[in-house]
A and B are shown apart, each in its own frame.
Chain A
Amino acid sequence: MDARSSASGNQAPARPVLEGPDIARMLTRIAHEIVERAKGANDVVLLGIPTRGVFLARRLADKLEEITGRAIPVGSLDITMYRDDLRLGPARTLARTEIPADGIEGRLVLLVDDVLFSGRTIRAALDALGDIGRPRAVQLAVLVDRGHRELPIRADYVGKNLPTSLREAVKVQLTEEDGRDAVLLGMRSAPSRPGSEAGPSTVEPTAPAGER
């Protein structure tokens, strides 16, 4: 059984590089940037990538509502069946795809995820999006960009750029899922290429396409 549960295989002690207040501040900043660059965020739809991207998308939506005074549509986009490594492991449990009632047609879709790594998850998300509708534009917001891209993909909004080595593991914790807010940096138990999960026991052994 492959549940996308939070990892427990982190053998090296992980140290927090961001705490709760840091995360809150970053989300607030990203929200303001969105309003500014998306000209009031009138047609923005937030789609979080499960699991933690969904919670971040909801938090961002709340902040956007505070700023603009309008409810911002928020949903989730499961990318499991669009992953390029689907055949490399056991069949994975699906997560929920929840498209807001008014859809994404002609809208500015803002994908939200916790960590940007190889870029493969975002590639999958773009494919998944294509089967749902045709947005005016698609942008990307992430809490942490840890580098090591394997595809020509970049984030439009970044909470923090966190230079890492491939031996390191980045772990985002959110209250909704993990009981607290933090970003942890630790060592992988085995070195791994970012776009593969070939390592026998990575921090997040079932994470999508190494995006951690």
Chain B
Amino acid sequence: MKRHLISAADLTRDDAVLILDTAEEMARVADRPIKKLPALRGRTVCNLFFEDSTRTRISFEAAEKRLSADVINFAAKGSSVSKGESLKDTAQTLEAMGVDAVVIRHGASGAPYRLATSGWIDAPVINAGDGTHQHPTQALLDAFTMRRRLVGPDAGLGRDLDGKRITLVGDVLHSRVARSNVDLLHTLGAEVTLVAPPTLVPVGVETWPCEVSYDLDSVLPKSDAVMMLRVQRERMNAAFFPTEREYSRRYGLDADRMSRMPGHAIVMHPGPMVRGMEITAEVADSDRCTAVEQVANGVSVRMAVLYLLLGGNEPAVTHPRTEEK
């Protein structure tokens, strides 16, 4: 069963490079008068969102529609769906309706894995973010953005991110984006450093294929890309850090800090940005910040994933972990 995309850790280097290369071709469709390809004509994809995320949902929807898929949006939040067994019921309902693939966003870590492996549903499952676990398409679009900026759109074809130094800054503990990025960037040969206050680094991080630092300033000059993770203000109340001001002072990215980065280095943000907290407006609006580009790249990467998983009679990427059962 190699039909799902649950975790960035499931992708081999060749799978990941194929997705990025395919995304390069998909990106070119955006420049055409008719931004549509027939690859998924007649296939029905359901965006099953148990958690609000307009950005991710719209991105997937755009990708699905550009590939000519029929799209069903199911926003489970706010409906009667709230308790556990409803994931199963909802999945079986969708299956009965003949859905060909499910894109799922869920607040519970592991829910997409459960959906893919529990036998509740036959359709391929694409994880659009689960709890504090994984968000593989985000990691892919981040890697795509890095490869375009640091290697080049054409020069990057067929290549990974070998030797690129990538720094992730912020709430690693609660971040599925961080987990996915660490896995994928490592697979692609990049050197990853996590920077966060110790309270926002998970116990057990020592087995991750990356470095951990508590000192942003020492890492910045050695970074080809700096990714700022979103920090929720509520974390402050749980004593993860004392005040917003202190967080900004120690871990926020302002123009002064940005000037210490190498000239070619880029600033990334998965969005939505909390300006003033983890990133100043000046940095966010500079041309070194790729936040807007990342949004555009998200559609191309998701088109690539959808095409490679659903375009043929079997997917073109392999996922060892979900093969177990």
A residues apposed to B, CB below 8 Å: 1-2, 78, 81-82, 86-97, 127, 131-133
A65 vs B56: C-alpha distance when bound (angstroms)? 49
In the complex with contacts A1-B14, A1-B18, A89-B313 CB distance below 8 A: yes
With known contacts A1-B14, A94-B22, A97-B28, A81–B37 Cβ distance under 8 A:
yes
Going nearest first, the 9 A-B pairs with the smallest beta carbon separation are: A91-B312, A91-B311, A81-B39, A91-B316, A94-B25, A90-B312, A131-B34, A81-B37, A90-B314
CB distance A132 to B311 under 8 Å?
no
B18 touches A87 (CB 8 A): no
Which of B26, B32, B316 lies in contact with A131, CB distance below 8 A? B32
* A119 → chain B closest CB, angstroms: 18
- Inside 8 A of A92's CB, which chain B residues have their CB? 311-312, 316
CB within 8 A of B309: which of A82, A91, A96? Answer: A91
Say yes or no for B33: interface residue by CB 8 A criterion: yes
| 18 residue pairs A–B, Cβ–Cβ below 8 Å | A1-B18, A2-B316, A81-B38, A82-B38, A86-B39, A87-B312, A87-B313, A88-B312, A89-B312, A90-B315, A90-B316, A91-B312, A91-B314, A92-B312, A93-B21, A94-B21, A131-B34, A132-B34
Tell me whether B316 and A93 are in contact (CB under 8 A): yes
Q: How many A-B residue pairs lie within 8 Å, measured between CB atoms?
A: 61
CA distance A93 to B315 in the complex (A): 11
Name B's interface SS: loop
Known: A2-B312, A90-B313. 14 other contacts (CB 8 A): A1-B316, A81-B311, A87-B313, A91-B310, A91-B315, A93-B21, A93-B22, A94-B21, A96-B25, A131-B32, A132-B32, A132-B33, A132-B34, A133-B33
For A96, give the chain B residue with the smallest CB separation: B25
Q: Does B307 contact A (CB under 8 A)?
A: yes
Question: CB distance B316 to A86 under 8 Å?
Answer: no
Q: Give the docked Cα–Cα distance between A82 and B41 (Å).
A: 10
Closest chain A CB from B248 CB (angstroms) = 44
Q: In B50-69, which residues have CB < 8 Å from any A CB?
A: 67
Size range of the chain B interface in the assembly: 20 to 34
**A104 → chain B closest CB, angstroms:** 11
Residues of A within 8 A of B307 (CB): 81, 91, 94
The residues of A that contact B28 with a CB separation of less than 8 Å are 97
Interface of A is mostly: loop
C-alpha spacing A90/B315, complex, angstroms: 6
- Shortest Cβ distance from A97 into chain B, in angstroms? 6
CA distance A86 to B314 in the complex (A): 11
Question: Among A86, A89, A131, which residue has its beta carbon within 8 angstroms of that of B36?
Answer: A131
Looking at the assembled complex, report how far the CB atom of B104 sits from the nearest CB atom of chain A, in whole angstroms. 21
B308 to A91, Cβ gap below 8 A? yes
B300 CB to nearest A CB, Å? 12
Interface string of B279-316 (1 = CB under 8 A from A): 00000000000000000000000000001111111111
- Complex Cα gap A1–B313 (Å): 13
Note all chain B residues with C-beta closer than 8 A to A91: 307-312, 314-316
Query: How would residues 1 to 31 of chain B score, 1 for a CB under 8 Å from any chain A CB and 0 otherwise?
Result: 0000000000000100010011001101000
The answer for the CA separation of A132 and B25 in the assembled complex, in Å, is 14
Please give, as numbers and ranges, the residues of chain B lying within 8 Å of A94 by CB-CB distance: 21-22, 25-26, 307
* B52 → A minimal CB distance (Å): 31
Residues on A with C-beta less than 8 A from B37 are 81, 131
Q: How far is the CA of A26 from the CA of B32 in the complex (A)?
A: 34
Residues in B with CB closer than 8 Å to A86 are: 39, 311-312
| Contact across chains for A88 and B316 when beta carbons are under 8 A apart | no
Whether A127 and B38, one on each chain, are in contact in the complex, defined by CB atoms closer than 8 angstroms, is: yes
* A-chain residues with CB within 8 Å of residue B311 when the two chains form the complex: 81, 86, 91-92
- With the chains together, A133 CA to B22 CA distance in Å? 22
Expressed in whole angstroms, the Cα–Cα distance for A91 and B313 within the complex equals 7
A131 CB contacts on chain B under 8 angstroms: 32, 34, 36-37
Query: A127–B38 Cα gap in the complex (Å)?
Result: 10
The distance from the CB of A120 to the nearest CB of chain B, in whole angstroms, is: 14
- B37 closest partner in A (C-beta): A81
Chain A residues with Cβ under 8 A from B315's Cβ?
90-91
Bound-state CA distance A95–B314 (Å) is 19
- How far does the Cβ of B231 sit from chain A's closest Cβ, in whole Å? 38
A87 partner residues in chain B, CB cutoff 8 A: 312-313
Closest A residue by C-beta to B33: A133
CB distance from A198 to the nearest CB of B (A): 13
Complex interface: chain A residues within 8 A of B313 (CB) = 87-90
How many Å lie between the Cα of A81 and that of B25 in the bound state?
11
CA distance A97 to B316 in the complex (A): 20
